[in-house]
Chains A and B, each alone.
Chain A
Amino acid sequence: MSEITQGSSFAGAAARPLLGEAARRRLEGVLIPVTALLVGLLLFGLFIALNGKSPEEFYYLVYRGGFGTWFSLQNTMTRAAPLLLTALCVALPAQLGLVVIGGEGAFVLGGLAAAVVGPLFGFAPGWVAIGLMALAGICAGGTWIGLVGAMRHYRGINETISSLLMAYIAIALMHHFVEGPLKDPASLNKPSTVPLGPDMRVGEIPGMDVHWGFAVGILACLLAGFVLSRTTFGFSARIAGGNARAAAVQGLPVGRLILAFTAAAGAAAGLAGMIQVAAVQGSANASLAAGYGYTGILIAFLARQNPVAIIPMALLIGGIDAAGGFIQRRMDLPDATVLVLQGILFVAILVSETLSGRLLPSRNAKG
C-alpha cells in the first residue's frame, strides 16, 4: 500500500523491532482483509447452518461452480469483467476521500451511448466502430460522474448522495430512450435499441471462452495502480485524500484532481457498460441495469480501494455469482443467499478497519 518509507529510517536509530514500519504496514494490509474475509465466510457458514443447510456443501459448490474447472473459471472471469471496471469507479474517487456510489448510472449510460454510436458507423470497418463505441461509453460515463465531481467541487454537494441520485436519473433516461425514441421496432418482447452488426461485437480472447472486456478490465486496474503508486499525479491525489487543506496549502490543484478522478472513475464504468453491450448483450436494453455498478462498490471496499487488489476481489465475487445459480438449484436456497453472503463479507471487511495499526506491534504505537 504505502510506499513512503522515510518515516522508518528517520526514527529507526534506537531499538530495532522485528519489522520495519513499511513492512509492518504491508503485512497488515494483507493480514487484516484476509482475516476479515475468513471471518465473514465463517459467519455466513453459521447462517447457512442455522437455516438447516450444510455450509461445507455450500462452499464446495462455490469452489466447483466458480473456480474448480476451466469451464467454471472462464465463467467467473466473464462475470468479473464488468466488475473490475465498476469497482474502479469507486476506488479512484476514494483516493481523494470521496465515496461515489453511483457507478451504475455511468455504466448504464455508457452502454446506451455505445449502442447509439455503433450503428451510426455501420459503413466503417468493425474496429473503427468498436473504438468509437468505446469512446462514446467513456465520454458518457466520464461526463456523468465528472458532473458529480464538479458539483462536489463547485457547489459542495455531497458526492455520495448526488451520485446515487444521478444513477436513478440515468436508469430512468435509459428506460425512456430504450422504450421510446431509440426503440428498435423489431424488438417486441424486450424493448431494445437496434442490434449491433456482427463486426461491431467485441470478441473472445483467443483460446478462451472469455471476451476481451476481461483483459481490458485487468489492464485498467493495473494502470490505475501504476498511476497511483508511481506517478506524481497519483501521489498528489493521495496527499489530497489524506488532507485536502494541507494539499491546497502545498499548491496542489485539489479541484482539478477531483474533476480528473471522478471523470476517470465514470469513464471506467462507462467503458464497462460499452463492453457489456458490445460483448454480451448486442444492444442496449433494461438488462443493463442489473446492478454491476452496485456490486462494484462492494468489490472496491473489499479491495480496500487498492486498484490492483480489485482483481482478486472481483474474481472472488464473480466466482460466487457464477456459482450462485448452480448452488440455488442444488441446495434449494433462495437466490438472495448470494446477497446475504456479500452483505456479511462487506460488513466484516469494514469492521476489520478498526484493527488497522493495532494488529501488529508498532514502534511508534501510543501504548
Chain B
Amino acid sequence: MNSDLGLWAVPIAVLGGMLRVSTPFLFVSLGECVTEKSGRINLGLEGTLVFGAMAGYGGSYLTGSPWLGVLAAGIAGLLFGLLHAALCSLPKVNDIAVGIALMILGSGLAFFFGKPLIQPAAPMLPGLSLGAWSSVPQVRAALEVSPPFLIGVVVAVLLLFVFKRTRIGLVLRMVGDSADAARAMGYPIIPVRVAATAFGGFMAGVAGAYLSLYYPGSWNEHISSGQGLIAVALVIFARWNPLACLGAALIFGGAGALGPALQSVGVTSGYYLFYAAPYILTLVILFVTSSPRKALEGAPRELSITR
C-alpha cells in the first residue's frame, strides 16, 4: 500500500478519512442545527442515528436499492424526531432528558429489529471517483467521495441561505430566540419546533444510513461510536452556523481518521489516545470559546443547553 509515499501517506489517508468520517457528523449536525435554532435540543439523535443505520440497511436489503434504504432511514428518523417533539411539547417535560431516553429506546429498537440483518449483505451506496486524474492509488482511494457528502455540502449552503434570507428562517430564529416575541407576532411556537425537530431526526436517520450503506458499510451493534452525540456538541462549536458545521464536521472527520492513518504507517502505540482526539478537541474548543458570564455568541436564547 504505502510503498513509496513514506510519511505522505498519513496526510493523504487523513484527507480521505476526513471526507468519509465527516459525513455522518455533517448530516446530524445540520439537522441538530435547525432543531436548536428553534430552541430545542435533541440528544436522542444518537439513538436515531443507530436506528437509521438499521433501517437503511434493512431497506436496502429488502428493496435492493440503497437509495430506498436511505429514504427509509430518513423516514424512520423523522418519526423519532416527531416523537421527541411531541413529548417535549407537553408542559414540564425536559427536552434533554427525553433525548437521553430516546437514545436508549432508539438503540434498543434498532438492535431488536436489526438482529436478523447482521448476516445478509445489502447493496451499498456507490462512490464517486474524483481522484481519477491521479496515478497514485492512495490519492485515488482518498478522493473516492460519497454522493451523500456532496449532498450534505449543498444542504449546508442551502440552510445558511434559508436562515439568513428567507421568511421561514426568520420565523425559526425568532421562535428559538424568544418564544414570547414569536407568540406576540402570531407565529405558532410548537408547530415550528415540531417541524424543526422532525427535520433534525430525518437528517440523523440519513446519517445512519450512510454509516451502514457507505462507510464503514455494514450493520452491527457497534456501528456508531457516539457520532450522534458529538454532532450535538459540534453544533455548539459551530455557533449554529451551517457552513461552520461543515468545517467542524471536516475537522472532526480528520481527527477521527488520524488514529487509523498513523496505524497504517506503523505507528501503533497510543492508538486509543488518537481515538480520543475528537473528544479532546471538542472539549478544548468549548473551553476556549465559552464564557462564564454570558451565553455563547450566536446561541438561540431559548436553548436550555447554553444557559
Using a CB–CB cutoff of 8 Å, the interface residues on chain A facing chain B are 99, 101, 151, 153-158, 160-162, 164-166, 168-169, 172-173, 175-176, 179-180, 294, 297-298, 301, 334-344, 346-347, 350-351, 353-354, 356
Chain A residues whose CB sits within 8 angstroms of the CB of B76 once the complex forms: none
Bound form: Cα–Cα A165–B237 in Å = 13
CB of A101, distance to nearest CB on chain B (Å) = 6
> Which of B56-64, B90-98, B132-140, B210-218 contacts the other chain?
B90-98
Q: Which residue of A lies closest to B107 (CB)?
A: A339
CB of B94, distance to nearest CB on chain A (Å) = 7
Contact B96 A160 (CB under 8 A): yes
A-B contact pairs, 27 of them (CB 8 A): A155-B287, A156-B292, A156-B293, A157-B286, A158-B305, A160-B43, A164-B229, A165-B230, A165-B280, A169-B276, A169-B279, A169-B280, A172-B276, A173-B273, A180-B270, A298-B101, A334-B115, A336-B108, A336-B111, A338-B108, A342-B108, A350-B94, A350-B97, A350-B98, A353-B92, A353-B93, A354-B90
Chain A residues whose CB sits within 8 angstroms of the CB of B110 once the complex forms: 336
CB of A64, distance to nearest CB on chain B (Å) = 22
Bound form: Cα–Cα A342–B285 in Å = 34
CB of A97, distance to nearest CB on chain B (Å) = 10
* Known interface pairs A179-B272, A180-B272; 11 further A-B residue pairs with C-beta atoms within 8 A, sorted by A's residue number: A151-B286, A160-B96, A162-B283, A162-B286, A172-B273, A172-B279, A335-B111, A336-B109, A339-B111, A343-B102, A351-B90
Bound form: Cα–Cα A173–B277 in Å = 11
Contact B100 A101 (CB under 8 A): yes
Chain B residues whose CB sits within 8 angstroms of the CB of A160 once the complex forms: 43, 96, 305
CB of A161, distance to nearest CB on chain B (Å) = 5
Contact B111 A334 (CB under 8 A): yes
Chain A residues whose CB sits within 8 angstroms of the CB of B263 once the complex forms: none
B105 proximal to A (CB < 8 A): yes
Choose among A155, A157, A340 the residue that contacts B109 (Cβ–Cβ < 8 A).
A340
Contact A346 B100 (CB under 8 A): yes
CB of B268, distance to nearest CB on chain A (Å) = 10
Choose among A157, A169, A336 the residue that contacts B112 (Cβ–Cβ < 8 A).
A336
Contact B286 A343 (CB under 8 A): no
Choose among B91, B236, B291 the residue that contacts A158 (Cβ–Cβ < 8 A).
B236
Chain B residues whose CB sits within 8 angstroms of the CB of A350 once the complex forms: 87, 93-94, 97-98, 101
CB of B86, distance to nearest CB on chain A (Å) = 10
Q: Which residue of B lies closest to A179 (CB)?
A: B272
B187 proximal to A (CB < 8 A): no
Bound form: Cα–Cα A168–B233 in Å = 13
B264 proximal to A (CB < 8 A): no
CB of B260, distance to nearest CB on chain A (Å) = 14
CB of A66, distance to nearest CB on chain B (Å) = 18
> What are the 3 tightest A-B residue pairs by CB atom distance, in nearest-first order?
A343-B105, A339-B108, A336-B111
User: From residue 100 to 126 of chain B, which have CB atoms closer than 8 A to chain A?
Assistant: 100-102, 104-112, 115
Choose among B115, B232, B271, B293 the residue that contacts A336 (Cβ–Cβ < 8 A).
B115
Chain B residues whose CB sits within 8 angstroms of the CB of A173 once the complex forms: 272-273, 276
CB of B148, distance to nearest CB on chain A (Å) = 25
B226 proximal to A (CB < 8 A): yes
Contact B279 A165 (CB under 8 A): yes
Bound form: Cα–Cα A108–B270 in Å = 18
Bound form: Cα–Cα A169–B273 in Å = 8
CB of A91, distance to nearest CB on chain B (Å) = 13
CB of A94, distance to nearest CB on chain B (Å) = 10
B166 proximal to A (CB < 8 A): no
Bound form: Cα–Cα A190–B164 in Å = 54
B306 proximal to A (CB < 8 A): yes
B3 proximal to A (CB < 8 A): no
Q: Which residue of A lies closest to B273 (CB)?
A: A176
Bound form: Cα–Cα A154–B280 in Å = 18
Chain B residues whose CB sits within 8 angstroms of the CB of A166 once the complex forms: 279, 283
Bound form: Cα–Cα A8–B98 in Å = 33
Contact B105 A344 (CB under 8 A): yes
Contact B226 A342 (CB under 8 A): no
Bound form: Cα–Cα A294–B104 in Å = 9
Bound form: Cα–Cα A337–B16 in Å = 38
User: From residue 28 to 44 of chain B, which have CB atoms closer than 8 A to chain A?
Assistant: 43
Chain B residues whose CB sits within 8 angstroms of the CB of A151 once the complex forms: 286-287
User: From residue 227 to 251 of chain B, which have CB atoms closer than 8 A to chain A?
Assistant: 229-230, 232-233, 236
Contact A155 to B291, CB < 8 A, known contacts A160-B305, A161-B233:
yes
Choose among A162, A165, A340 the residue that contacts B108 (Cβ–Cβ < 8 A).
A340
Contact A155 to B292, CB < 8 A, known contacts A161-B236, A340-B112, A344-B105:
yes
Q: Which residue of A lies closest to B97 (CB)?
A: A350
